[in-house]
Chain A
Amino acid sequence: MSTARVALAIAAKDLRIERRSRVMLNQVLPFSGVVMVLFAFALDKANLLSRVAPGLIWMATLFSLLVMVQRSFAVETDDRAFDALAVAGLSPTGLFLGKSLALAVQLLVLDVVLVLLAVVLYETKIHGGGRLALAAVTIVAAVSVLAGIGTLYGGLAAGSKGRDTLLPLLLLPMAAPVVIGATRSMEAAFATGGIAMREGWAWAGLLVALGVLTTVGGALGFSALIEE
């Protein structure tokens, strides 16, 4: 089986599990909604919420990412399914890309919902096609980076004792450049924080570069991790 076919098969499997179990719909999305509401309680100042909305969207994404990565690898480690996949001789790169792709699709849905929530709850506005395009590129690029590092560290911590507490410690410092870049870029798209569109696109470009780096590096790292 080619790497691409393995990746698509694994992604389809993960999304099928998700469609049947509805963990994303019934647990992760409500959780991120609660986080957005709690942010509003914590930052209860006039106009403050609309100004910091881009950062809050990415913080809520990060919190949800932790839950999603744990879920993504819990289904693999429960019956040692991951060992079976590795023993089956499937390409490790394909496994990594497949798990990342499934995670990225779920994160994409999550972020679209979070942006809509920001529009409703925080009075955020996106005017014009250019700003909408910037927001879309930012979300896709940031999501691909987060899915990549999430899959890599999720795989690393999977099956070990204390993985639930280890994952945030490993993942969050690595996500720092994504939070900074994606927040600045979304500030440009939302026209808050005084960021020019040109600068917003520069940050989005950085995110795209990070996405490529994470995908290549993650695929190589994942191969080294599961080869025995």
Chain B
Amino acid sequence: MTGSTSTRFTRVLGAATLLGTLWLFLFGLFLSPDDIIQRRGVRIMYVHVPSVWLAYLAFVVTGIASVAYLWNKTRSLVWDRIAGASAEIGILFMAVTLVTGSLWGRLSWGKYWVWDARLTSTALMFVTYVGYLAVRNLGGTHQQRAKRSALVAIFAVIEIPLVHFSVERWNTLHQEESVAKGKLQDMMLFSLFSGIVTFTLLYVWLLIHRQRVLAMQDALDDRELDRALIERRAEADAAAQPATTSAGV
């Protein structure tokens, strides 16, 4: 394995992501118009919506990779590392979603948080995947880590619709406000679309790099383990040597 996680493809992808980010800045902050009701607050949407898209995409990939790990008889750790890398990215962007969402909520509803079904299930999902990462760090062999975390990921995927459904039913009693949904102008829609494309590129770029870093970490762990084994064997041999010599004398 080389010392770098980048290849020609990731460098091109990285450059495209960078360009997309500048493009999003330009359209999101300057070229797209203010909203009639939300005014400048609408610009949060260009980060918020792509973030939530990316987070869901990442968690879906984690789920699929976890099933693929358990499904394949070879128990390939590549799937496990893709699942882990994707979950890390998902958590990061779920956090961005929650922060930008509550800021937007403060501007639009006057509150940082409402007990809306979507908000509540998003927060629970965030905590669930934080737990998933904690399971990945439990220790043990790489295969133990992979198996435990794959199970947690699959249960999380099953749990998400259940949580959403129950919170939605629960909330029908408490629903107080609804967001007036105006039609988005063309320029706003274009900026939003730019954000989604850019964030998707960013996701792929991050996933490839992070997955390779995790592979390097695993390889390093294995090498350290081998080195420790060789050292212990050498110690045992050295300890046995004088004993045999003295026994011979």
Seen from chain A, the residues whose Cβ lies within 8 Å of a Cβ on chain B are 152, 156-157, 160-162, 166, 169-170, 172-174, 176-177, 180-181, 184, 194, 203, 206, 210, 213, 217, 221, 224-225
Chain B min CB distance to A205 (Å): 12
Complex: how many Å from CA A172 to CA B134? 14
With a CB–CB cut-off of 8 A, which chain B residues contact A174? 128, 155, 159
With a CB–CB cut-off of 8 A, which chain A residues contact B131? 166, 169-170, 173
Contact between B148 and A210 (Cβ–Cβ < 8 Å)?
no
With a CB–CB cut-off of 8 A, which chain B residues contact A177? 159, 162-163, 165-166
Complex: how many Å from CA A225 to CA B169? 33
Contact between A184 and B124 (Cβ–Cβ < 8 Å)?
no
Chain B min CB distance to A70 (Å): 15
Question: Does any Cβ of A come within 8 Å of B187's Cβ?
Answer: no
7 interchain residue pairs of minimum CB distance: A177-B166, A160-B138, A169-B131, A170-B131, A173-B128, A180-B166, A180-B170
B155's partner among A152, A162, A210 (CB-CB below 8 A) is A152
Chain B min CB distance to A65 (Å): 16
With a CB–CB cut-off of 8 A, which chain B residues contact A206? 166
Residue of B nearest to A203 (CB): B169
Chain B min CB distance to A176 (Å): 5
Contact between B151 and A224 (Cβ–Cβ < 8 Å)?
yes
Question: Does any Cβ of A come within 8 Å of B77's Cβ?
Answer: no
Contact between B170 and A170 (Cβ–Cβ < 8 Å)?
no
Complex: how many Å from CA A181 to CA B169? 9
Given contacts A173-B131, A176-B166, contact A166 B138 (CB under 8 A): yes
With a CB–CB cut-off of 8 A, which chain B residues contact A221? 151, 154-155
Residue of A nearest to B159 (CB): A174
Question: Does any Cβ of A come within 8 Å of B68's Cβ?
Answer: no
Contact between A156 and B148 (Cβ–Cβ < 8 Å)?
yes
Chain A min CB distance to B79 (Å): 14
Contact between B124 and A156 (Cβ–Cβ < 8 Å)?
no
Contact between A161 and B166 (Cβ–Cβ < 8 Å)?
no
Residue of B nearest to A168 (CB): B131
Within 99-132 of B, Cβ neighbours of A (below 8 Å) are at 124-125, 127-128, 130-131
Complex: how many Å from CA A170 to CA B156? 10
| 25 A-B residue pairings within 8 Å (CB atoms) | A156-B135, A156-B152, A157-B135, A157-B138, A160-B138, A160-B139, A160-B140, A161-B139, A162-B138, A166-B134, A170-B152, A173-B124, A173-B128, A173-B163, A174-B128, A174-B159, A176-B163, A177-B162, A180-B166, A180-B167, A180-B169, A194-B173, A213-B158, A221-B154, A224-B147
With a CB–CB cut-off of 8 A, which chain A residues contact B134? 162, 166, 169-170
Contact between A166 and B166 (Cβ–Cβ < 8 Å)?
no
Within 137-194 of B, Cβ neighbours of A (below 8 Å) are at 138-140, 147-148, 151-152, 154-155, 158-159, 162-163, 165-167, 169-170, 173
Residue of A nearest to B171 (CB): A180
Complex: how many Å from CA A224 to CA B131? 19
Complex: how many Å from CA A177 to CA B151? 19
Complex: how many Å from CA A169 to CA B152? 12
Question: Does any Cβ of A come within 8 Å of B95's Cβ?
Answer: no
With a CB–CB cut-off of 8 A, which chain B residues contact A152? 151, 155
Complex: how many Å from CA A174 to CA B129? 11
Chain B min CB distance to A2 (Å): 25
Complex: how many Å from CA A213 to CA B163? 14
Contact between A170 and B135 (Cβ–Cβ < 8 Å)?
yes
With a CB–CB cut-off of 8 A, which chain A residues contact B173? 194
With a CB–CB cut-off of 8 A, which chain B residues contact A213? 158
Within 21-55 of B, Cβ neighbours of A (below 8 Å) are at none
With a CB–CB cut-off of 8 A, which chain B residues contact A203? 169
Complex: how many Å from CA A181 to CA B168? 11
Residue of B nearest to A149 (CB): B155
Question: Does any Cβ of A come within 8 Å of B78's Cβ?
Answer: no
Chain B min CB distance to A100 (Å): 15
